[in-house]
Amino acid sequence: MSFKVPRGTQDILPEQTPKWQKVESILRDLSRVYRYKEIRTPMFEQTELFQRGVGDTTDIVQKEMYTFEDRGGRSLTLRPEGTASAVRAYVEHKMFGAPDQPVKLSYIGPMFRYERQQAGRYRQFVQYGVEVIGSADPAIDAEVISLAMDVYHSVGLKNLQLHINSLGDKETRDAHRTALINHFQPSIGEFCSDCQNRLEKNPLRILDCKVDHAHPLMESAPKLTDYLTEESSKYFEKVKEYLDVLGIEYVVDPNLVRGLDYYNHTAFEIMSTASGFGAITTLCGGGRYNGLVQDIGGPEVPGIGFALSIERLLLALEAEGIELEVNDSLDIYVVAIGDEAKKKSVELLSSFRAKGISADMDYVDRKMKAQMKSADRLGAKYVIVIGDSELEEAAVNIKQMESGNQEKIQFVELVNYLLEHK
């Protein structure tokens, strides 16, 4: 019997983890400078949380959730996204009562969706996201967007496009909803069964359909932007003004509606325009969700956030041919010849590591030549070879691999030497 990783999941192998760690550290740094404190919630929640929070008519809830019953008969679901959990925690821990508002949260961790496997689409993937709860200031919308853009700039991506739209307020949505129903109703028979269900429940979602996206009625459908109330328009204008202040370029995309039910006002996506990225170009999606907190049992407070996956960020880097500078270097490799030398090596290794100097040696009894090769393959910056004469002199030639230069250094001076030169 042979085992494989489950479909849609992947092992991240030791050669790849430094890249992941680099991205994660960039994300943590950005969260810190923007002051979005990290929150860690469980990887599963009551199923109903997502039905409410993500929305019954979404693809996520209808087709993509990993739902199971635990031994106590409760229906639980592996989290498909992070917002519902963050908002649940916000309400449960009464963060609305904290003296400093708004509450700015960030999270990073695996999400689970039963998706058709393809490039950039996994069944387990890692999302980084932020949520700001308790402010309806258009400046915070711009801040959230700017943080998302900063993520991509910080890893060196250039071919990016920011799409923004306004989904308006309740009045906007209601007027648009009626217009959509009138538009699609006469020909709804030509649409997929999902869209037929959406017509009454949430016709806006028809515009986001992946099956019928080419139907001519899509193009001619009434645009949300034509139904914006004066207040919504003003809000949208303000968001754009702040983006201008920040020097962030954007494309207003009236067809951008986003998959989740709870969005209103600002919606945005960041796409990669790199050639060779493939069919899936969306790197990040987010928007405002005034009303969600209340739906989840909290007070009436507004919120906004985004989520992006590290998988797609790494794909975008690949498409642009960018190699992240990662730190997995080996400072010194110690080659030992003989039992006494090996004891000395073990001791030296320990003293190097205690000072943060990365060090390694042979543990499979290889001959000296093979050990040297190993040091080379591992990219060691320095190599020392300890044999009888070195033990006698309590000193060793330390070789800098790149230049080939050697210097004789006392054992007791090695740590200092490396700290100065590594």
Give the residues lining the site for ligand ATP (CB under 6 A). Answer: 81, 113, 115, 120-122, 125, 127, 259, 280, 282-285, 307-309, 311-312
Residue 138 preceded by cis peptide, ω within 30? no
Least distance in angstroms from the C-beta of 260 to ligand ATP: 7
Least distance in angstroms from the C-beta of 266 to ligand ATP: 14
- Does the annotation list 82 as a binding residue? yes
The whole-angstrom separation of Cα 110 and Cα 24 is 13
**Pick 250 or 352: Cβ nearer ligand ATP:** 250
The whole-angstrom separation of Cα 123 and Cα 79 is 11
Least distance in angstroms from the C-beta of 308 to ligand ATP: 5
Least distance in angstroms from the C-beta of 331 to ligand ATP: 36
**Pick 253 or 360: Cβ nearer ligand ATP:** 253
Residue nearest to ligand ATP (CB): 309
**Pick 312 or 344: Cβ nearer ligand ATP:** 312
In terms of Cβ atoms closer than 10 Å to its own Cβ (0-12, 13-18, 19+), residue 238 is middle
- Does the annotation list 32 as a binding residue? no
**Pick 287 or 374: Cβ nearer ligand ATP:** 287
Least distance in angstroms from the C-beta of 363 to ligand ATP: 38
Least distance in angstroms from the C-beta of 22 to ligand ATP: 18
Asked if 169 contacts 180 with a C-beta cutoff of 8 angstroms, the reply is no
**Pick 163 or 173: Cβ nearer ligand ATP:** 163
The two tokens of residue 398 are: 């330390």
- Does the annotation list 300 as a binding residue? no
In terms of Cβ atoms closer than 10 Å to its own Cβ (0-12, 13-18, 19+), residue 43 is middle
- Does the annotation list 258 as a binding residue? yes
**What phi-psi label fits residue 145: left (phi over 0), alpha (psi between -120 and 50 degrees) or beta?**
alpha
- Sign of the dihedral through C-alpha 44, 50, 54, 57: positive
- Does the annotation list 81 as a binding residue? yes
Q: Which of 120, 30, 164 is nearest to 310 (CA)?
A: 120
- Does the annotation list 402 as a binding residue? no
DSSP label of 213: T
- Order of all β-strands in the sheet with 66-69: 44-46, 75-78, 66-69
**Pick 113 or 198: Cβ nearer ligand ATP:** 113
- Does the annotation list 52 as a binding residue? no
Binding site for L-histidine: what residues are annotated? Answer: 81-83, 113, 127, 131, 258, 262-263
Binding-site residues: 81-83, 113, 127, 131, 258, 262-263
